[in-house]
Amino acid sequence: MHTHAICLFSRQLGSSAMAFDSDSIRGRSDYEYLSEIGEGAYGKVYKAREIGSKNRIVAVKKLNLPGDPEAGIPPFMIREVALLRKIEFFNHPNIVKLLDVSACILNQSLDLTLVFEYIDQDLKSFCEGKILSVDKIKDVMKQLLRGLDFLHSNMTVHRDLKPDNILISSRGEVKIADFGLARLYTYQIALTPCVVTLWYRAPEVLLQSGYMSAVDIWSAGCIFAELFLLRPLFRGFSEAQQLKKIFELIGLPSEEEWPQESPVRYSPAWGPSGMVRPGSQLLPGLGVDENVLLMEFLAFNPSNRISASQALAHPFLAEA
């Protein structure tokens, strides 16, 4: 079987350019595949052992795109690798580490291999069947927000933050993973609406209006509530149902607050009128500080939503 590499990605910080470097290409025999640990629309993730002197356990993400390989690497693949290359320079403790990348033509398909540090489990499996202490919830949120603060400070929006994409090591290290929907952004652009797992989507995404890094903060707020509830906060099964569930909790904004560019029409039928105001309790089982922080995560207007750095300084999370 004939295979050959077609490109690699530049390691230069901040660059999304591709560069040829045949000496850096890793062969398929470099890893012993132990088990499949995940699957997505474009490929699978495996637990593997690196063959050689390191003999370390890694996670290998293999993306395969059938069709004409001469068309080149799809933009979403370039985007993920470019972002990971950009942020790996800083070696942030709350961002999963990319160890290696290679791309080649294999059986008339484009085959991209990303090798990451192996982390034991994701937040979803970590929370199953247990009640988390308040201290543990604080620890998870602090690490998550530090990772988000780093991404947002580097002009990166994750856009698909959910428990499945947050990893927790056996040592309690929280790491944000899976940048398949991430985008570099500037202050002059708005991003496309068809992103983010439904239960964690911000209202501006559901309303198909422009958005920025605040979409990640909304998702973090949903995750924050889920750590207490041990179930998703908003479990809608359509975009309309998701909006209704959101407005049932935070209240319906006024027509003046509704995004003017949204193709979704304002209607009193969306939910109870009047946004929940400061001092109210979103979730009765939470204390005052937790409710205030949750309300600031889930502000309808993204410009009123708390930032990651501000959340880290909130009384509930700030160091004593």
- As to burial, measured by CB atoms within 10 angstroms (0-12 exposed, 13-18 middle, 19+ buried), residue 30 is middle
Percent of the chain surpassing pLDDT 90: 44
- Domain boundary among the residues 94, 117, 140 is at 117
Same domain, 220 and 302: yes
DSSP state of 159: -
Q: Active-site residue 111, yes or no?
A: no
Out of 160, 164, 178, 289, the active site residue is: 160
Range of the domain at 80: 4-117
Q: How many domains does the chain have?
A: 2
Question: Band of the pLDDT at 277, cuts 50, 70, 90?
Answer: low
CATH number of the domain within which 282 lies? 1.10.510.10
Can you give the CATH number for the domain in which 27 is found? 3.30.200.20
Which of 86, 117, 148 is at the close of a domain?
117
Give the residue with greater pLDDT, 66 vs 90.
Answer: 90
Q: Which of residues 117, 151, 179 is at a domain's end?
A: 117
Backbone angles phi, psi at 291, to 5 degrees: -65, -40
pTM for this model (two decimals): 0.81
Question: Rounded distance, CA 204 to CA 75, Å?
Answer: 24
Residues whose CB falls within 8 Å of the CB of residue 78, separated by 6 or more in sequence, listed in order: 9, 16, 18
Residue 80 has a pLDDT of 64
Q: What is the dihedral of CA 143, 146, 150, 156, to 10 degrees?
A: 70
Q: Place 19 in a pLDDT band, splitting at 50, 70 and 90.
A: very low
Tens of pLDDT, residue by residue over 30-70, are: 888 998 887 765 678 889 998 887 789 998 888 776 656 56
